[in-house]
């Protein structure tokens, strides 16, 4: 409901999202749009009305804009970005502030991000509470700042630094912002009171950033900053555009630069990459929704015991230590234990040596770390994570040992990527406290973690797993027990389809290159060589007895393994690796093996275009995801896109296979899947896509 204020007979409507009051001669304009004070249409309308009201109020000589609650304006309302933006646009509010003859100060706390930061840059002064975070993260959504960020920030901090911050979407602390000259003042208490005092100190004078000349920049340093930003930003179009806009500061009047920036912002906002990145943004927002539902209270976890000191175990230990947990690493093999513990210590030593961590912080972290060969030492742990060899019998034996020594209330988790987790649970007397935690290697780096719900896992166990993943800074997706869970099941279908194309006429390099050009971090055959062909070979051998002989099976990977071509570690796999070389070279011998396999099946090889390769991969992934949804392996369909982007190198700016399917539409997807089934042959089952599209509408 609008509130009406009268000045000299003119009525000014104020929305419920904006509150105003006067502290003597200073008007305080408060943004109240919880939880993050997003710059929605209603907020923008209210701000514009408030500025107009302030301009005409003879009792107010200065104004302060401040946020209610825990933050200033932590960004725009992203939901509005998919539709035509309603008036007034943010540049209109900023222009009203700049054109107002009286000074306006922004008082920042919590976060001033995106449009919130741009609003602050449009004011005459900026004061912040210690701990405030500032930044222009628009590039992470496939766009650029669209309300003057690329034009005003360089006038304060220079071209090169602006390229770094804007193109990296970097958030900086208030103390750093003060050093850079972005803030006028930093305080540690009474923000509003001190902002009012600061506003009065301006003596009615304007101090517009738009009136500043940009600092001089050397062409060579601008080029270096641009090249660095493009490399870090994967050479995406919006990074190029951001650099161009920042460069306009040196050559164009500010009003022209602002107009060009706004047009570029609008064009990018409506583009497919921005749409895909918004899809990822909203998918990520769902990840921890269960924690706020109140259905189950997570168990408090502070002490972690990790069983198994191999590469995965030591990586999990590092991830937990970095998150502030107390960690115990257990292994029955003394050499393996010492090696694993040393990996943990070496990690933090390397962080110190590279300047990425202070030596005192590393020392504090390592004080939380112990390692032992004694089972009894796990008694104090709140969560025990098994990370031993991927063998069902070994894992069952480990959990019997765990049960004998663990606190009966401790949560138990298995790090497994393929094994039937319900079979592991059979040996646990209280399986309600047991669940799966599938980390991805290297565990201290990879963002993805799969939380596996067993038949008997309690809601408390799953909620605790989510809370644990959140503290680790991971992207958790919840799966029911199914072979390969979510990520590996989709990946297996993807790799199988690529093997079909090998047999039909493509070669490893052609397939890898097509997918890498699309945006994948690595193609499937380069990945196979890196991880080792023997891992998947062992899996195929274990499942051979259950394979339907009528289904299409590509024997090329088996032939390579039998020839000793096990990947990079063996010097040869799909590619050849000369001594010391990490980048594989095309090997004619592999082409001969592939040609022979095609001939043995009577397959007439044909040419493939990069577009066909990518299309078949995306269709295959979408089909497998539809199966996962129909089988209720995954509850949130967009979790599949989260998994592929954060664990399998799928390009974030392409959204994911679910986004691909949504953009294609159900009718076209069904038609294309029928064509793909014909190409793929026996064993390819077309999914019922109703469940997928129904889930997208929820």
- Active-site residue, from 23, 130, 138, 516: 138
For Cα atoms 319, 324, 330, give the angle at the middle one, nearest 5 degrees: 60
Tokens standing for 123? 């004011």
Distances (CA, A) of 206 to 20, 193, 200: 21, 20, 12
DSSP H or E stretch at residue 14: strand 10-14
DSSP 256-318: HHHHHHHHHHHHHHTSHHHHHHHHHHHHHHTTTHHHHH-SSPPPP--EEEEE--SHHHHHHHH
Q: Is residue 371 left, alpha or beta, with left meaning phi > 0 and alpha meaning psi from -120 to 50?
A: beta
Of 93, 150, 401, which Cα lies nearest the Cα of 265? 150
Beta-bridge partners for 304:
327, 383
Concerning whether 87 is annotated as a catalytic residue, the answer is no
Q: Of 186, 184, 157, 187, give the one whose Cα is nearest residue 170.
A: 157
The residue assigned the tokens 């309603």 is 86
Catalytic residue among 98, 118, 273, 450: 118
Please list, in sequence order, all residues whose beta carbon lies within 8 angstroms of the beta carbon of residue 91, skipping any fewer than 6 positions away.
146, 147, 148, 258, 262
Torsion, CA 131, CA 136, CA 140, CA 141, rounded to 10? 120
Whether 640 and 656 have beta carbons less than 8 Å apart is answered as yes
Widest CA span in the chain? 92
Active site residue 297: no
| Other Cβ atoms within 10 Å of 80 Cβ, number | 16
Exposure string of 51-75, with b = 16+ CB inside 10 Å and e = fewer, is bebbbebeebbbbbbbbeeebbbbb
Give the active site residues: 118, 138
């Amino acid at each position: 409901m609008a509130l009406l204020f009268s000045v000299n007979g003119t009525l000014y409507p104020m929305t419920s999202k904006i509150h105003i009051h006067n502290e003597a001669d200073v008007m305080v304009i408060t943004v109240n749009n919880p939880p993050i004070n997003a710059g929605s249409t209603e907020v923008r309308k209210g701000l514009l009305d408030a500025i107009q009201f302030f301009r005409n109020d003879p009792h107010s000589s200065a104004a302060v804009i401040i946020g209610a609650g825990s933050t200033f304006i932590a960004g725009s309302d992203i939901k509005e970005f998919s539709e035509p933006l309603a008036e007034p646009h943010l540049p209109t509010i900023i222009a009203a502030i700049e054109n107002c003859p009286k000074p306006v100060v922004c008082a920042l706390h919590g976060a001033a991000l995106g449009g919130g930061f741009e609003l602050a840059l449009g004011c005459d002064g900026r004061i912040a509470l210690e701990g405030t975070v500032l930044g222009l993260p628009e590039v992470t959504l496939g766009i650029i700042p669209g309300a003057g960020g690329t034009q005003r920030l360089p006038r304060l901090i220079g071209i090169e630094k602006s390229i770094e911050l804007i193109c990296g979407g970097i958030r900086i602390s208030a103390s750093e912002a003060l050093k850079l000259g972005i803030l006028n003042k930093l305080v540690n208490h009474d923000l509003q009171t001190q902002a009012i005092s600061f506003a009065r100190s301006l003596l009615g004078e304007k101090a517009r950033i738009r009136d500043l000349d940009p600092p001089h920049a050397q062409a060579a340093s601008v080029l270096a900053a641009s090249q660095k930003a493009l490399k870090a930003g994967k050479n995406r179009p919006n990074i190029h555009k951001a650099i161009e806009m920042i460069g306009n500061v040196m050559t164009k009047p500010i009003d022209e630069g602002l107009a060009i920036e706004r047009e570029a912002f609008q064009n990018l906002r409506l583009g497919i990459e921005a749409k895909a990145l918004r899809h990822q943004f909203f998918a990520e927002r769902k990840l921890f929704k269960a924690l706020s539902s109140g259905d189950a209270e997570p168990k408090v976890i502070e002490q972690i015991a990790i069983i198994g000191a191999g590469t995965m175990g030591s990586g999990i230990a590092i991830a937990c230590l970095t998150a502030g947990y107390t960690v115990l690493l257990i292994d029955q093999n003394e050499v393996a234990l010492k090696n694993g513990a040393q990996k943990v210590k070496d990690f933090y030593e390397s962080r110190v040596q590279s300047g990425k961590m202070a030596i005192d912080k590393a020392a504090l972290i390592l004080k939380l770390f112990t390692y032992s060969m004694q089972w009894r030492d796990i008694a104090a742990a709140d969560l025990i994570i098994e990370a031993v060899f991927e063998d069902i019998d070994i894992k069952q034996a480990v959990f019997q040992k765990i049960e004998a020594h663990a606190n009966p209330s401790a949560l138990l988790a298995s790090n497994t990527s393929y094994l039937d987790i319900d079979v592991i649970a059979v040996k646990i007397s209280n399986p309600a406290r047991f669940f799966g935690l599938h980390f991805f290697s290297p565990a201290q780096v990879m963002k993805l973690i799969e939380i596996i719900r067993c038949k008997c896992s309690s809601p408390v166990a799953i909620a605790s797993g989510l809370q644990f993943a959140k503290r680790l800074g991971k992207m958790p997706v919840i799966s029911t027990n199914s072979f390969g869970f979510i990520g590996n099941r989709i990946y297996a279908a993807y790799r199988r389809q690529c093997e079909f194309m090998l047999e039909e006429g493509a070669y490893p390099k052609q397939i890898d290159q097509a997918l890498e050009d699309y945006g994948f971090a690595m193609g499937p055959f380069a990945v196979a060589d890196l991880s080792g062909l023997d891992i998947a070979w062992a899996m195929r051998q274990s499942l051979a007895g259950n394979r339907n002989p009528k289904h299409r099976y590509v024997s090329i990977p088996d032939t390579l393994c039998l020839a000793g071509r096990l990947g990079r570690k063996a010097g040869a796999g799909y590619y050849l690796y000369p001594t010391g070389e990490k980048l594989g070279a095309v090997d004619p011998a592999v082409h001969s093996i592939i040609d022979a396999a095609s001939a043995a099946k009577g397959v007439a090889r044909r040419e493939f275009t990069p577009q066909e390769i990518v299309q078949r991969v995306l269709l295959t992934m979408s089909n497998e995801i539809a199966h996962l949804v129909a089988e209720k392996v995954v509850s949130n369909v967009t979790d599949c896109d989260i998994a592929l982007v954060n664990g399998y190198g799928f390009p974030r700016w392409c959204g994911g296979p679910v986004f691909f399917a949504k953009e294609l539409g159900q009718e076209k997807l069904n038609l294309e899947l029928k064509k793909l089934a014909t190409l793929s042959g026996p064993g390819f089952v077309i999914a019922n896509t109703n469940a997928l599209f129904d889930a997208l509408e929820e």
